[in-house]
A and B are shown apart, each in its own frame.
Chain A
Amino acid sequence: MAAAASARWLRIRCRLCLPLKSRRADPCEQAPSCRFYSESAALPNVEGADVTGIEEVIIPKRKTWDKVAVLQALASTVNRDTTAAPYAFQDDPYLIPASSLESRSFLLAKKSGENAAKFIINSHPKYFQKDIAEPHIPCLMPEYFEPQIEDISEAALKERIKLRKVKASVDMFDQLLQAGTTVSLETTNGLLDLLCYYGDQEPSADYHFQQREQSEESEEATEENNEKSRKKAGPQLGVTWRAKNNAERIFALMPEKNAHSYCTMIRGMVKHRAPVQALNLYTELLNNRLRADVYTFNAVIEAKALMVNEKFEEKWNNILELLKQMVAQKVKPNLQTFNTILKCLRRFYAFGRLPALQTLREMKAIGIEPSLATYHYIIQLFYQQESSAKGSPLIIYDIMNEVMGKKFSPKDPDDDAFFQSAMRVCSSLRDLELAYQVHGLLNTGDNWKFIGPDNRRNFYYSRFFSLLCLMEQIDVTLKWYKDLIPSVFFPHSQTLIDLLQALDVANRLELIPQIWKDSKEYGHTYRSDLKEEILMLMARDQHPPELQVAFADCAADIKSTYENQDARQTVPDWPANPLNYIIVLFLRAGRTQEAWKMLELFRKHNKIPRNELLNEFMDSAKASSSPDQAMEVVKLASAFSLPICESLTRRVMADFAVSQEQKEALGNLTALTSDSDSDSDSDISEGK
């Protein structure tokens, strides 16, 4: 009976295909179990055939599921919506960001709101005691950051260390010492850990938001993101190791020291840029016949490379020496060991290349799988300053062959820099095929998570898209444009200019008004280089009438941005080129009135119209057969003392029915121009 029930349970719950062992093993089963048999006939047919034989019972392995397995399965069904902003930005429609600057402030605002709430709750825990959640949710309750143990004891010291109160811990330690209590070695080591990690400074209380240390970021600052303040480097970056600080004092006070005490001191010194002291302490450690752990070796390797006034060769030999010591002390190297070496070799420029390759091979040979950061360092070493030095262009291909199709998991804090540097190389090699490979790798498994923070993502995609604009067929480029923007990144104005140039090359200028609309949306309304490029492309050639109308609308829109800008800046300024282009576009679309109105702006802002523009005006005057307008053009030309004045006059005489007065006026104008011709040469060249 029990078996029957349990079997049913099994079948329903676990889809266990229970082989029909019990059928023969227990023939005297009671009546109710018959139901069980009949039901079990519905089990897979494999058993149905040979009921009589006694087969091996294969019990399937039990599957254990993560508690979020269902959610994960559901999440995997959701694809990126190419028409929408990323999920993280979906909020009140008014707040959805449309440019990279906005998106950044959106994220910062969201995070700082969370942090502010947490700060208030944690600093006033007594007001937040009501437990509203049922069942209880611990993470919503205030955390206690203030030490609870008041008396002076080792327990109190431990608590302060756990809460990472640097100063309070040191005070407690001193009080304990004064009271004559000996603190255990373990606790003292814990205190040293704290002091060394934070360099004897109170850790910043910014709730772990973007606290990641980015030591060598500056060299990667690119034109893409130098406008963003790079304040991400945590406050610890500025902390340097001060001689005779609390860590050193406590270390000196310790009656007995073990390897851990030395190791943590060395690591702290290296972390806070005191390589000389670190190396001295390392010697001391060796003299005391203690053994350093692998992390300390990694730190010492870094210290050797940080040493100033040493030749690259010397430094490299020192590093090799350290590695030999590791072997002698039977310390197993880890991924960080090799990554540290490669990271340091980057500063050796061309000298570092051969050692770097040897290091990489050593890694492979002893079975340590390189992480993305490893390749990142190699790429940086071989493609410094975007150069294509001898032979090195092959490196990236080898690397890509190696990593293609692999799925990575985070192993090094620099793992997220790989895709950016790989794409940088693709872009400097102008190799689209390679860029597709890199992008393919990015979209393998969960690798996309390694694209790094916002600025890296933007850099990566801008480079990728610029390369597409440069090399890919326009239809494919536009497909990528629709796919990537805005759901993956917001384009930089240079990205849009690249796209415009690609459109120009492919003769698809009819898309320009659309691109302008997009640019406005992505916050480039006031980018004059972008606007000028758009206007230039639209005004350069003649187009069919419908297109000219669309272009003129677009030009009018751009014109309004210039006017609005004036209101913003209070200093009205109309650059000459856009003015020329806009008027030409108006003329070609037959919006003569507006064009004439705009012509006034030349005089107002003291800018010089181009010859082509004046000719266009003459054409339009001729089309409407209005000698007055033609006269206006000539007047304008003479007002700027342009050499074209003469030929314009001739055209007016020839093409229009001019009255006597007008003829005289023309004569005067021409005389005026030829007089001042000599001293207006500089203006002419500028006007061109």
Chain B
Amino acid sequence: MKTSKSVWFFSLMHLSRTQNNIQRYFGTNSVIYNKKDEQSVPTHEISKETESQDSVKENTKKDLLNIIKGMKVELSTVNVQTTKPPNRRQLRSLEATVGRLQRAPEDAPKKRSESLSPELVAAASAVADSLPFDKQTTKSELLRQLRQHEEDSRAQKEGERPKISFSNIISDMKVAKSATARVSTRPVHQIQFDEGSDDYGGQEKTADLRKSLRKNIFKGKRLNIFDLKAVTEEAPEAETAPSLWDVEFAKQLAAVNEQPFQNGFEEMIQWTKEGKLWEFPINNEAGFDDDGSEFYEHVFLDKYLEDFPKQGPIRHFMELVTCGLSKNPYLSVKQKVEHIEWFKNYFNEKRDILKDSNIHFN
């Protein structure tokens, strides 16, 4: 019986998997599912089947619980022989089913729960055909199962039994990683019911946590220890040399996003930084290091002509000199200034002669 139930699960999943890829979305994302539902005709047909499955599920929560419990047992036996392909296949679809159940929207469309639709019967037989087990038995088992669900759902409709929250049952279920699973199989293959470590903080804490989670995780109660003002205000930091701790922490941080080079240029960047490579010129000052003086100090030399006459031949001459100097890339700023100074001194010395020639130099 248990086998047939899990087979039923498996078969429906399998069906949707093989028939249509889009259907696979259904398993995981309710939003997409709803979208797909309203889409093209072939998609719709298939989703009908799953829908009817859904409605059955809706109404037979207790059965589902049984089935899921059954699955657990089934799994533990299956796990032993995961190397067998058909079993693994089954497992995989089971996983998918579980994943879907966990995230299944609770407001799933409640539509049809009348009689077994012909599609469903066809699907069941198709599933039975695709299975390596005895086909007739599988099919009849599947159908019997479906019919029973149908009856149950009808009975429940009449009686309005007290609702057992489906989500509560499912939320207690989790896919856990087992320590031994690492060696051979993928850990997600294992399903177990575990209520242990999670309820650590007791009921009160959990309720608190849930309330805390319902909203955005960034909004809610905080520790209320630190004050924004106290933290942001600038405190005079004592200037100290970085200690060994600081240096090593900086190294660690630098290593965090260290990745192998993506291309040759990145390698060249690294070499440039290490000083192994000639710096790639980025402007006309490449390799030009004049004690950090800027280009305008090289070019604008007019300010050194203050002490010279405002007009006349000396002014003319000096302007030509500064023009020449400003174009000279070989002299440093200091040398250029010295050059101008030299002329100043020269003209100062020759002041007498200049005076004779009727030229005033200050």
Contacts and interface: CB of A to CB of B under 8 A. Distances in A.
A366 B227 contact: yes
Contacts of A391: 209-210, 213-214
Given A5-B326, A193-B245, A72 B269 contact: yes
B188 interface: yes
A506 B223 contact: no
Given A390-B171, A474-B21, A71 B272 contact: yes
B80 interface: no
Central interface residue in A86, A264, A354, A384, by most chain B CB within 10 Å: A354
Interface in A660-678: none
A445 B174 CA distance: 36
Contact of A1 (B201, B256, B266, B320): B320
B301 interface: yes
Contacts of A324: 225
Give the 7 A-B CB pairs with smallest separation, nearest first.
A88-B260, A449-B257, A75-B265, A361-B222, A78-B263, A387-B174, A350-B200
A473 B283 CA distance: 51
Given A350-B199, A431-B29, A358 B222 contact: yes
Contact of B177 (A326, A386, A473): A386
A361 B218 contact: yes
B218 A388 contact: no
Contact of B262 (A80, A295, A470): A80
Nearest to A62: B294
Contacts of B230: 327, 330, 332
Contacts of A506: 21
Given A78-B265, A197-B244, A367 B232 contact: yes
Contacts of A364: 218, 222
B275 A350 contact: no
Contacts of A605: none
A67 B257 contact: no
A102 to B, nearest CB: 15
B21 A473 contact: yes
Interface in A303-339: 312, 320, 323-324, 326-327, 330, 332-333
Interface stretch (A93-101, A132-140, A249-257): A132-140
A196 to B, nearest CB: 8
B274 interface: yes
B212 A357 contact: yes
Given A137-B276, A392-B213, A362 B225 contact: yes
A70 interface: yes
A357 B323 CA distance: 69
Contact of B265 (A74, A386, A413, A470): A74
Contact of B275 (A139, A385, A449, A473): A139
A361 B201 contact: no
A449 B258 CA distance: 7
B252 A70 contact: no
Contacts of B272: 67-68, 71
Interface string B212-226: 111011111111111
B210 A267 contact: no
B35 interface: no
A351 B253 CA distance: 30
A87 B261 contact: yes
Contacts of A388: 102, 171, 174-175
B276 A140 contact: yes
Contact of B269 (A71, A80, A446): A71
B284 interface: yes
Interface stretch (A38-46, A116-124, A393-401): A393-401
Interface string A521-545: 0000000010011001000000000
B268 to A, nearest CB: 5
A86 B254 contact: no
Given A2-B323, A389-B174, A9 B200 contact: no
A409 B257 CA distance: 8
A208 B251 contact: yes
Contacts of A138: 275
B264 interface: yes
B302 A2 contact: yes
Contacts of A127: none
A129 interface: no
Size bracket, chain B contacts: 35 or more
Interface in A339-358: 349-351, 353-354, 357-358
B260 A367 contact: no
B85 A533 contact: yes
19 contacts: A13-B295, A68-B280, A71-B269, A78-B264, A137-B275, A323-B223, A324-B225, A327-B226, A332-B231, A354-B201, A362-B222, A362-B223, A386-B177, A413-B249, A416-B256, A430-B95, A430-B99, A432-B29, A505-B17
Contacts of A333: 226, 231
Task: Classify chain A's interface size.
Answer: 35 or more
B236 to A, nearest CB: 12
A387 B212 contact: no
B182 interface: yes
B300 interface: yes
B254 to A, nearest CB: 7
A24 interface: no
Interface centre among A349, A353, A367, A451 (most CB of B within 10 A): A353
A428 B186 CA distance: 12
B187 interface: yes
Contacts of B261: 87-88
Interface of B: 17-18, 21-22, 24-25, 27-29, 32, 83, 85, 89, 92, 95-96, 99, 102-103, 171, 174-177, 182, 186-188, 194, 197-201, 205-206, 208-210, 212-214, 216-228, 230-232, 235, 243-245, 248-249, 251-269, 272-276, 279-284, 295-296, 299-302, 319-320, 322-323, 326-327
A354 B262 contact: no
A640 interface: no
A350 B198 contact: yes
Interface string A156-187: 00000000000000000000000000000000
A118 to B, nearest CB: 13
Contact of A398 (B32, B217, B224, B280): B217
Contacts of B255: 212, 413
Contacts of B212: 354, 357
A536 B275 CA distance: 58
Contacts of A507: 18
A439 B279 CA distance: 36
A53 to B, nearest CB: 26
B182 A226 contact: yes
B187 A223 contact: yes
A450 B256 contact: yes
A69 interface: yes
A67 B279 contact: yes
Contact of B186 (A350, A390, A494): A494
Contact of B260 (A67, A107, A320, A387): A107
A137 B278 CA distance: 10
A511 interface: no
Nearest to B181: A223
A201 interface: no
Nearest to B185: A223
A360 B263 CA distance: 38
A420 B338 CA distance: 64
Interface string A412-429: 110110000000000111
Nearest to B175: A386
A13 B300 contact: no
A481 interface: no
Contacts of A70: 280-282
A603 interface: no
Nearest to B194: A387
Contacts of B275: 137-139
Contacts of B320: 1
B327 A87 contact: no
Interface in A230-262: 260
Contacts of B301: 2
Contacts of A494: 186
